[in-house]
Amino acid sequence: MIDLIDECAYELNAKKSKIKKYKKYSISTINFFIENSDSKKSDFGAGEYFIINSPLTHLLDKECHDYVCEILRIRLGKMMKEKGFKKGRKVLIVGLGNPAILADALGSKVVDRVDINVDLDKNNIFKISPNVFALTGINSFDMVHMLTIWLDVDFVLLIDSLATKNVNRLGISIQLNNFGITPGSALNNFGRKICKESLGVPCFAIGVPLMLIGEEVIEDSPENLVLTPKDIHENLDNLVYIISKAINLIM
């Protein structure tokens, strides 16, 4: 399964618009919109998808990271406000994936850096890393669904590692949407979609491709072979800083 919408937009009949190229750091952004989606055939649901391509992120310093962070903050904040978000509303932030595998640890590492108010009576930000079914015996959807009801949250924000079929996209493309996500889709271990239709509250997702599916680049590759950048540690540190800072500024 490929997780970046621009790698399969034609098959999804996604409408492309608002391509923008920035003067700094070779950054570009692009919007996609899906008006209707057959949820049985695609992991992409109806909604807005926005991709930030920043090919120099891991080659440059904190100034570049903060620049990308600001683009993400503005766009995610706009998406959330359009769905009724304002400061003080209850938000559940979910770090999906397996924290023991670096290429799949983006969600949990970002969640670790999200700020919450330790005063229970004043806190409105909740965060959790549910891990994967193979290690917990609990589907991520079930855990998120339970907490959404129990905590009576207004919004759910999900962070996860994605898969790509283009080696040049690894670690440099940040995709966000106002639909949600399907846990485990990168390796075809499809869980139930985490979205407004299934939870009853608006859902948003942030993902970065950190996995390259082997069959896309190697003929007769072993099943479920996943390739990752050799400098995955540094890539993760940069991405975690960018995404967690953007979330903290919005919240």
Going residue by residue through the chain, which has 251 residues, state the pLDDT in tens, using 9 for 90 and above.
Answer: 568 888 876 666 677 777 899 989 999 999 998 887 654 555 788 899 999 999 999 988 899 999 999 999 999 999 999 999 998 899 999 999 998 999 999 999 999 999 988 776 778 999 999 987 777 888 889 999 999 999 999 999 999 999 888 888 999 999 999 999 987 655 555 568 899 999 999 999 999 999 887 766 676 666 667 788 888 989 999 999 999 999 999 99
Report CA torsion sign: 97, 157, 8, 41.
positive
Please tell me the number of Cα atoms within 13 Å of 247 on its side-chain side. 31
Which residue range forms the structural domain that includes residue 168? 5-250
Q: Which helix (H) or strand (E) covers residue 78, if one does? A: helix 62-82
Q: Are 99 and 129 in contact (CB under 8 A)?
A: yes
Place of tokens 């750091």: 25
> Alpha-carbon distance 125 to 111, whole Å?
11
CATH number of the domain enclosing 137: 3.40.50.1450
Report the alpha-carbon distance of residue 44 to residue 132 in Å, rounded.
21
Count Cβ atoms within 10 A of the Cβ of residue 15 and give its class: 0-12 exposed, 13-18 middle, 19 or more buried.
exposed
Closest to 190 (Cα-Cα) out of 181, 199, 202: 181
The domain total for the chain is 1
Task: Answer whether 165's CB lies under 8 Å from 218's CB.
Answer: no
Concatenated DSSP letters of 111-172: HHT----S-TTT--EEEE----HHHHSS-HHHHHHHHHHHHT-SEEEEEEEEEES-GGGTTT
- pTM, two decimals, is 0.91
